[in-house]
Amino acid sequence: MSSLHLYDTLTRTTAPFKAIKDGEASIYLCGATVQAPPHIGHVRSGVNFDILRRWLTKSGYNVTFIRNVTDIDDKILHKAVHEEMPWWAVAMKYERAFADAYAALNVMPPTYEPRATGHVTQMIELMQKLIERGAAYAPGNGDVYLEVRKLTSYLTLSRQKLDDLQPAADADETYKKDPRDFALWKAAKPGDPSWPTPWGAGRPGWHLECSAMAHTYLGEAFDIHGGGLDLVFPHHENEIAQSEAAGYPFAKLWMHNAWVTASGEKMSKSLGNSLQVAELLKSVRGIELRWYLGGAHYRSMLEFSMGALEESATAFRRIESFLQRSVEILGTEPTPVINATFTDAMNDDLAVPTALAGISESLRLGNTAITDGDKKAIAQHANEIRGALEVLGCDPFDSVFAQSGATDLTAALDGTIKLALAQRTAARERKDFAASDAIRDGLAALGISIEDTAQGPRWSITSHATPTEGSK
RNA sequence: GGUGGAAUGGCCGAGAGGCGAGGCAAGGGACUGCAAAUCCCUCUACACGGGUUCAAAUCCCGUUUCCACCUCCA
């Protein structure tokens, strides 16, 4: 039996995962800056780390999972002006949009989901400590900066040299000792929200808040820090800088997911090529979108196309169809079982694509077992497939994916269609194929497709996926 | 300028010195009254040029193209 190996951005190698505390795993994931609706790049990160979390849990760890909400920053303030709403209303509006998107994709709520604005006290304490240790300074204008030249191991994560960095174009060097020093705290501008501190009123810098929240919920050292690849520099470098300057070991392992691209380019708001989750959910179900996003390896770029998404959804429906038939034949839902193929794949730095190949194999064998009427084999493969889907967060029997409130209607529909199917079966028995085909065509016109199986006819609703505008 | 990543069959996508993942599409076959579903078979690739090796898609050197980060970014 293999053991879990994970890739560490810091060492650029894959190594066995060893938790700081036996049986416990602590994860801090950089969450969203809630200033716009979520696009699929945002939720890919959520899905990737949700799979990590589920696999750690399945492997026996008690997982503490923190994902923060950055609810105060420049963009939110700009948006507030633009949308003519208070900044906190903007933040809440988009925080809810993210929560809806995560829920639709079955991303588990984090153990704790701290908001930046709720942790100003902890940020002030951290700054106090950094100033006392001589790592940070308050030049008197209300800003507080970290002095990066004093750090011994700055930029080890991104492997850059301080002097090679291009100085920020908008760097205000009036108060900075070095242009590369970064702001822990930003002095209040007129009209902007602010919190009082010993160094003047202001608001949190982006980097400081994550360090402060990680310390608050996970302590001075924790197992895994995650986020998108684009956070490596400067965000994560600066988090490391602040935490190490404060004397904390901080994260033991760094994991970064690659981004979703469109036409070869990274999805981003500024490019205008971002695809909103809410929009895609008009074409495919949440479970199908998750299957698509989770199916690529987390460190590989995922080139989005509507065609690829639809293809992936079709493949998923085949799996669902097998599971449904297994229930019809066995009269019971499969019991999730994790097989060795899946375990080995997941333990190899979450090799989901390899795991998917194993699921395809089980699916083929399971379908063959249905043809052969081998109930034992049907159960085995259904169990293994469900076990794998459960870890991937795509278990169709999971109550989050159930169509709530529709059960009565479904039962009525089922009864109605079965009535029609009985007519059709009778027609077929007397070889009146014109009549039987008329019934089938009639149902098809209503969006209901018929399959004849050894166990009798089955019906299902044909999905009407409507392609999103502007995508192929 | 600095730091990284990528190039695989019609398409999507793994892998990482020898045994050619998997899916989708396509063609053929089995089954079927016909469909559908399912199963079987076929098509089979690693950007380019050198090198190392008994053996390279995989390692080394060089080249090209694309992408990203260095400014807010999942």
ipTM of the complex: 0.92
Nearest nucleotide, CA A260 to C1': B74
A379-382 long-range Cβ contacts below 8 angstroms, 24+ apart: A379/A326, A379/A330, A379/A334, A380/A337, A381/A322, A381/A326, A382/A322, A382/A323, A382/A326, A382/A330, A382/A334
How many Å apart are A443 CA and B47 C1'?
51
Q: Which of A127, A141, A203 is nearest to A173 (CA)?
A: A141
Q: What's the confidence (pLDDT) of residue A176? A: 86
Nearest nucleotide, CA A171 to C1': B71
How many Å apart are A452 CA and B32 C1'?
9
Q: Which residue is nearest to nucleotide B33 (CA to C1')?
A: A433
Return positions of chain B under 7 A from a protein CB: 1-6, 11-15, 21-25, 32-40, 66-74
Nearest nucleotide, CA A299 to C1': B5
Nearest nucleotide, CA A259 to C1': B74
Q: Which residue is nearest to nucleotide B2 (CA to C1')?
A: A164
Helix (H, G, I), strand (E, B) or coil at A314: helix
For chain A, residues with pLDDT lower than 70 are: 1, 167-173, 269-273, 403-407, 463-472
How many Å apart are A295 CA and B58 C1'?
24
* CB-facing half-sphere around the CA of A114: CA atoms within 13 A: 22
How many Å apart are A230 CA and B52 C1'?
37
Nearest nucleotide, CA A296 to C1': B13
Nearest nucleotide, CA A303 to C1': B12
Distance of alpha carbon A70 from alpha carbon A72, whole angstroms: 6
Distance of alpha carbon A460 from alpha carbon A400, whole angstroms: 21
Q: Domain A277-401 class?
A: mainly alpha
Q: Which residue is nearest to nucleotide B73 (CA to C1')?
A: A230
Q: Which of A398, A244, A418 is nearest to A336 (CA)?
A: A398
How many Å apart are A144 CA and B11 C1'?
53
Topology at the third CATH level for domain A5-257: Rossmann fold (3.40.50)
Q: What is the DSSP letter of A115?
A: B
How many Å apart are A67 CA and B24 C1'?
35
How many Å apart are A349 CA and B64 C1'?
32
Q: What's the confidence (pLDDT) of residue A269? A: 67
Distance of alpha carbon A107 from alpha carbon A54, whole angstroms: 10
A260-262 sheet: strands from edge to edge: A265-266, A260-262, A302-304
Backbone Cα Rg of chain A? 26
How many Å apart are A463 CA and B36 C1'?
15
Nearest nucleotide, CA A451 to C1': B36
A221-228 sheet: strands from edge to edge: A62-67, A24-29, A221-228, A250-257
How many Å apart are A419 CA and B73 C1'?
56
Residue A373, number of CB atoms within 10 A of its CB: 11
Residue A61 contacts residue A24 (beta carbons within 8 Å):
yes
Nearest nucleotide, CA A159 to C1': B3
How many Å apart are A415 CA and B32 C1'?
26
How many Å apart are A292 CA and B20 C1'?
26
Nearest nucleotide, CA A155 to C1': B3
How many Å apart are A373 CA and B42 C1'?
28
Nearest nucleotide, CA A46 to C1': B74
Q: Where are the domains of chain A?
A: 5-257, 277-401, 410-461
How many Å apart are A472 CA and B5 C1'?
25
Residue A259's alpha-carbon distances to A40, A97, A177, in angstroms, are 9, 20, 35
Nearest nucleotide, CA A165 to C1': B70
Q: What stretch of H or E contains A184?
A: strand A182-187
Contacts of residue A325, defined as CB under 8 A and 6 or more positions apart, other chains included, come to A370, A453, A455, A458
How many Å apart are A345 CA and B20 C1'?
20
How many Å apart are A108 CA and B2 C1'?
39
